[in-house]
């Protein structure tokens, strides 16, 4: 049996980087006042179709959707933003607190063509803020993302930012885009021809070469912003400059999801081939209301966890895997019985203890203690038990300490903690 295409195992040997990222992300989010949220992996299909947009690639071709036994159409979440909005509305989270900040880590599912950096089950680290219209929160999120990536050793990644405007200025931009595409319509792919009527902004995100060529020199959203959107974008830019965050204006960036308004951004890298986006996000001031909640400004981003780990691997990021505090070398059946009991006890006292019950020789067991990188080794054999004295060896200093059998567990805990 094998994993299915686009799905993969993350093995214990690979997990150190994942855990490091998770820990750093949680620390940083918590210090900025974000709280973890956990939500279901399956939701009603309509939630994603309505939020991400009926004419997006995700909804049109990438969702894992199935009919459950009662006839409901359900979907494995392709992203987290829609579900977090659903939870925000369902639990009336706006009622208790005007501003809510969440983070989430977990698997997402998209049926894309698998390749390096692109999987059908992949992981995201997601952050969302509800209730703040101020552009400072846009900058806070971009800064936070930037700071996290730097903490993880990724330097020189610049944020591509753009403003997609709001319902007040979007029609003006759409008109300019449709005028521009006028005589180029025939060069568009069949999908984009449909999008001309249904959702012209999506054409800007089409990957088909003929569409890319037809779009060369197309109008930019930033040139069609209303005064409020322009002021908002100016403040985002100046506050990012003050914070020393590297960014560039990318007026071709529209993102692949329909819910965005105003600021949108992506962090790109050149090290992952075609899959250049390590993280992406933006504002979605209309979505909560469109899903039935009160009018609530909102904004967030998601990091592609798999891609981030791949970049860190390419940078040869080493996470020092800590060995056990103690390895018990036990020789003979009686010694093994003691080793078993003590290792169970010590592990519950916060002393990470390992032992080996395969009846190997002293030499083989010492070799193993070295291999697992144990800080201390305790040697027990029949002689030691008869004399009621055991030897504890500090593997770094080679120093040996004798300890009596009475009160052994507490004495060991003391010695090792020191």
Residues in the site for ligand HAM, rule: CB under 6 A? 79-81, 110, 112, 117-119, 122, 124, 126, 128, 256-257, 277-282, 300-302, 304, 306-307
Cα distance between residue 137 and residue 142, in whole Å: 9
- Smallest gap from residue 53 Cβ to ligand HAM (A): 12
Closest CA to 8 of 121, 110, 89: 121
Across-strand partners of 298?
130
Cα distance between residue 254 and residue 228, in whole Å: 19
Please name the residue that has the structure tokens 């899903």: 291
Comparing CB distances to ligand HAM, the nearer of 8 and 184 is: 8
**CA-based torsion, 413, 415, 416, 418: positive or negative:** positive
- Smallest gap from residue 404 Cβ to ligand HAM (A): 56
Comparing CB distances to ligand HAM, the nearer of 124 and 162 is: 124
C-beta of residue 78 within 8 angstroms of C-beta of residue 63: yes
Closest residue to bound ligand HAM by CB: 304
Closest CA to 178 of 170, 167, 189, 190: 170
Cα distance between residue 5 and residue 47, in whole Å: 26
Comparing CB distances to ligand HAM, the nearer of 260 and 376 is: 260
Across-strand partners of 52?
none
3-state secondary structure of 26: helix
Comparing CB distances to ligand HAM, the nearer of 77 and 368 is: 77
C-beta of residue 122 within 8 angstroms of C-beta of residue 232: no
Comparing CB distances to ligand HAM, the nearer of 153 and 359 is: 153
Comparing CB distances to ligand HAM, the nearer of 108 and 326 is: 108
Across-strand partners of 209?
none
Comparing CB distances to ligand HAM, the nearer of 110 and 146 is: 110
Comparing CB distances to ligand HAM, the nearer of 85 and 365 is: 85
- Smallest gap from residue 400 Cβ to ligand HAM (A): 51
Cα distance between residue 84 and residue 75, in whole Å: 15
- Smallest gap from residue 47 Cβ to ligand HAM (A): 13
- Smallest gap from residue 79 Cβ to ligand HAM (A): 3
Across-strand partners of 101?
129
- Smallest gap from residue 304 Cβ to ligand HAM (A): 2
Cα distance between residue 379 and residue 373, in whole Å: 16
Closest CA to 135 of 268, 66, 225, 39: 225
- Smallest gap from residue 45 Cβ to ligand HAM (A): 17
Cα distance between residue 62 and residue 358, in whole Å: 49
Q: Is 356 exposed, middle or buried (0-12, 13-18, 19+ CB in 10 A)?
A: middle
Comparing CB distances to ligand HAM, the nearer of 282 and 297 is: 282
- Smallest gap from residue 225 Cβ to ligand HAM (A): 20
Q: For residue 75, how many C-alpha atoms fall within 13 Å in the half-sphere facing its CB?
A: 25
- Smallest gap from residue 278 Cβ to ligand HAM (A): 5
């Amino acid at each position: 049996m094998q994993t299915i295409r686009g799905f993969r195992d993350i093995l214990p040997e690979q997990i150190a980087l994942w855990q490091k990222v998770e820990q750093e992300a949680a620390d940083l989010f918590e210090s900025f006042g974000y709280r973890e949220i956990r939500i279901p992996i399956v939701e009603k299909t309509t939630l994603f179709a309505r939020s991400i947009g009926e004419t997006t690639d995700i909804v049109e071709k990438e969702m894992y959707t199935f009919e459950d036994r009662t006839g409901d159409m359900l979907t494995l979440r392709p992203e987290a933003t829609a579900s977090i909005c659903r939870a925000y509305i369902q639990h009336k989270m706006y009622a208790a607190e005007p501003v809510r900040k969440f983070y989430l880590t977990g698997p997402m599912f998209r049926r894309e063509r698998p390749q390096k950096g692109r999987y059908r089950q992949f992981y995201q680290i997601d952050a969302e803020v509800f209730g703040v219209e101020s552009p400072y929160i846009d900058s806070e999120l971009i800064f936070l993302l930037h700071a996290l990536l730097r903490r993880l050793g990724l330097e020189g990644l610049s944020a591509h930012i753009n403003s997609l405007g709001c319902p007040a200025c979007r029609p003006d931009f759409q008109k300019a885009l449709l005028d521009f595409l006028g005589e180029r319509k025939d060069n568009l792919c069949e999908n984009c021809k449909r999008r001309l009527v249904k959702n012209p902004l999506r054409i800007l995100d089409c990957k088909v070469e003929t569409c890319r060529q037809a779009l060369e020199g197309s109008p930019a959203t930033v040139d069609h912003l209303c005064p409020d959107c322009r002021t908002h974008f100016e403040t985002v830019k100046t506050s990012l400059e003050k914070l020393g965050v590297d960014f560039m204006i990318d007026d071709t960036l529209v993102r692949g999801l329909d819910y965005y308004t105003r600021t949108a951004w992506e962090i790109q890298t050149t090290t992952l081939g075609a899959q250049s986006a390590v993280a992406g996000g933006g504002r979605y001031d209309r979505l909560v209301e469109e899903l039935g909640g009160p009018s609530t400004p909102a904004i967030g981003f998601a990091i592609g966890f798999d891609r981030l780990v791949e970049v860190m691997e390419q940078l040869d990021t080493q996470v020092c895997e800590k060995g056990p505090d103690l390895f018990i070398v036990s020789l003979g059946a009686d010694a093994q019985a003691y080793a078993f009991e003590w290792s169970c006890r010590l592990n519950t006292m916060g002393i990470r203890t390992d032992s080996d019950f395969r009846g190997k020789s002293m030499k083989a067991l010492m070799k193993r203690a070295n291999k697992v990188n144990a800080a201390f080794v305790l040697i027990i054999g029949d002689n030691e038990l008869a004399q009621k004295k055991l030897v504890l060896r500090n593997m770094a200093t080679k120093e040996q300490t004798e300890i009596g059998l009475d009160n052994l567990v507490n004495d060991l805990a003391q010695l090792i903690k020191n």
